Amino acid sequence: MPADFLLLSSRPERRAADDEHAAIAQHMGIHADRIHRLSMTADPYSRPDLDGFAAVIQGGSPFNSTTPRETQSALQLRTEERLGDVLDEVVAEDMPMIGLCYAVGTFARRQGAHVDTTYGRGTSAVTIELTESGRDDPLLDGIPPAFEAYVGHHEAITAPPAGATVLATSAPTPFQMLRFGTHQYVTQFHPELDRAALVRRMVDYLHSGYFPADQFDRIVEDISRATVDSAHGILARFARLFG
């Protein structure tokens, strides 16, 4: 029987967390029950043993890792402390992992990436382009050299750490996907989001600064023109390689 995946969920909002879990499972092509969701924001918190999980998935979050610690909420501080503990073990045990968006500010930053607000991007669809390394990476086998994906982030990598491999880029944000070691990945874009899932997330975070609330309808119209199927293929490939 295939081993399960561990999802590190850092969304305090229940509907947003449920939707993310469902979207990841859908585009991985597996039943949601095969993804054990660990809420990093819940109390009580009990961390499972990582042994027995095939791989780790780090979900997104409304938190920004670049928010000064003195102004972070107690919930964010607690969440990122818990995340750090798990992510350090993921690195130490060399577990396969894919981290989505928030992983840029947590996982990649812990590995030495410089992250700030220079390349923040509002909710939109962008064209992702694979680098030469990306075209040769096993996870991206079969993914077109250029494809569309949804983004929405306040912060991004401005300088990757030594040893990280840049797999994908875009015009507005130069570091869209990185690999650490042989099988630990982070994406700035959201491979789990299709149009319906993104619209629901826009409703959940209407006043969180990802887009002007009064431009909701226009942005929905804009994102509806994108075809993001190839981005979903990354999650499906991850499930096949490591599940």
Cis amide linkage into residue 160, ω under 30° from 0: no
Q: What is residue 65's predicted lDDT score, i.e. its pLDDT?
A: 95
pLDDT tens readout for residues 30-64 = 999 999 999 999 999 999 999 989 999 999 999 99
Length of the chain: 243
Looking at residues 181-192, what average pLDDT do you find? 99
pLDDT tens readout for residues 194-240 = 999 999 999 999 999 999 999 999 999 999 999 999 999 999 999 99
pLDDT tens readout for residues 137-185 = 999 999 999 999 999 999 999 999 999 999 999 999 999 999 999 999 9
Q: What is the DSSP string of 79-135?
A: HHHHHHHHHHHHHHTT--EEEESHHIIIIIHHTT-EEESTT-EEEEEEEEEE-HHHH
Q: What is residue 33's predicted lDDT score, i.e. its pLDDT?
A: 96
Please measure the distance between the N-terminal and C-terminal CA atoms of the chain and give it in whole angstroms.
10
Containing structural domain, residue 51 = 4-242
Q: What is residue 2's predicted lDDT score, i.e. its pLDDT?
A: 59
pTM: 0.96
Q: What does R_g of the chain's alpha carbons equal in angstroms?
A: 16
Domains held by the chain: number: 1
Q: What is residue 29's predicted lDDT score, i.e. its pLDDT?
A: 98
pLDDT tens readout for residues 86-139 = 999 999 999 999 999 999 999 999 999 999 999 999 999 999 999 999 999 999
Q: What is the CATH number of the domain that holds 54?
A: 3.40.50.880
Q: Is the pLDDT of residue 1 over 60?
A: no
